[in-house]
Amino acid sequence: MTSEGVDQLTVRLGATERHSFLAVVTDAMLQLPSYVPDLVLSERELARYDAFRFAQKRAGFLLGRAAAKRALAPMLDEETWPAIDVHPGVFGQPLVRHEHALGVDVTLSHSNGMAVALAYPAEWPMGIDLETVKVDVAATVLAELDPSAEERAWLATSSLPPAPACAVLWGAREALGKALKTGLNSPLRLFALCGITQSEPGGWVGGYANFPRFTWRVTQIGSRALSLAFPRDIEFAHWPCL
């Protein structure tokens, strides 16, 4: 398998520099002969894949694992994707099994025919999320989010319409849930954002009201929002253009 098209993101903490790799896989790519399940999945993943009752679940799983393998292959120096196993931990968090996996973590997300994955140094916990901006469910999702006073003030004053605004609030929170490895199985207000600032057209940055050691970044890509939660003290040398 090739790692072409995978974005290498240099990450720094003071003088310490590490690499992380961001990969994207779309439904269209799954039609390529190199993306058949046998060439993507480990034996254990194949057993999970076969056990899904619904084709949509199977396709989402394959998409996510293909993105994870694309991101992990250069990090682990492994060309044979089935030799990399991504196994769920007790909270559903993805755990990497491979002879070079010590100190390597992966975070992934799939949404409407696209999956993204970031392979990163485990010492700097990160979480990724991909949301599809959906106008028809924005009001329901906003109610579920239980926005804080600061988030409500941002919603009222931001130039963003409710649907993409909702994708920012939801995506950045979900990314933190993944970085913490718990997912969102806690009262959602706990993950509230603070200091929401537009960094560029289609880009927002900020912090977390209750998790000051983490920061987040959301980039709007067409009808999707890509969110990343990461330690406040680390810096990315550049930000990916998907």
Ligand X SMILES: CC(C)(COP(=O)(O)OP(=O)(O)OC[C@H]1O[C@@H](n2cnc3c(N)ncnc32)[C@H](O)[C@@H]1OP(=O)(O)O)[C@@H](O)C(=O)NCCC(=O)NCCS
Site for ligand X in 132-171 (CB under 6 A): 144
- Is 190 a binding residue for ligand X by CB under 6 A? The answer is no
Burial annotation 173-208 (CB, 10 A radius, 16+ → b, else e):
bbbbbbbbbeebeeebebbbbeebeeeeeeebbbbb
* Site membership for ligand X, residue 82 (CB under 6 A): no
| Beta carbon nearer to ligand X, 3 or 109 | 109
Name 239's Cβ contacts closer than 8 Å, sequence gap at least 6: 9, 203, 217, 219
Q: Is 185 in the site for ligand X (CB under 6 A)?
A: yes
Q: Which stretch binds ligand X (CB under 6 A): 1-9, 34-42, 88-96, 224-232?
A: 88-96
Give, as ranges, the residues between 21 and 40 that touch ligand X (CB under 6 A): none
Nearest distance from C-beta of residue 157 to ligand X, angstroms: 26
Instruction: Give the number of residues in contact with ligand X, rule: CB under 6 A.
Output: 20
Verify binding: residue 174, ligand X, rule CB under 6 A: yes
Task: Say if residues 225 and 130 touch (Cβ distance below 8 Å).
Answer: yes
* Candidate segments 29-37, 73-81, 172-180, 201-209, binder of ligand X by CB under 6 A: 172-180
Identify which range of 49-57, 73-81, 180-188, 211-219 contacts ligand X by CB under 6 A.
Answer: 180-188
Q: How far apart are CA 129 and CA 115, in angstroms?
A: 9
List residues bridging with 24 in a β-sheet: 116
Least distance in angstroms from the C-beta of 122 to ligand X: 13
CA distance 188 to 176: 11
Q: Does 109 bind ligand X (CB under 6 A)?
A: yes
Interaction of residue 122 with ligand X, rule CB under 6 A: no
Give yes or no for residue 108 binding ligand X (CB under 6 A).
yes
Q: Which long-range contacts (CB under 8 A, 24 or more apart) does 172-175 make?
A: 172/129, 172/204, 172/206, 172/216, 172/218, 172/227, 172/229, 173/145, 174/109, 174/127, 174/129, 174/131, 174/227, 175/107, 175/126, 175/127, 175/128, 175/129, 175/216, 175/227, 175/228, 175/229
Q: Which of 98, 110, 217, 224 binds ligand X (CB under 6 A)?
A: 110
Task: Choose between 49 and 236: whose C-beta lies nearer to ligand X.
Answer: 49
- Residues making contact with ligand X (CB under 6 A): 61, 64, 88, 91-94, 108-110, 129, 144, 174, 177-178, 181-185
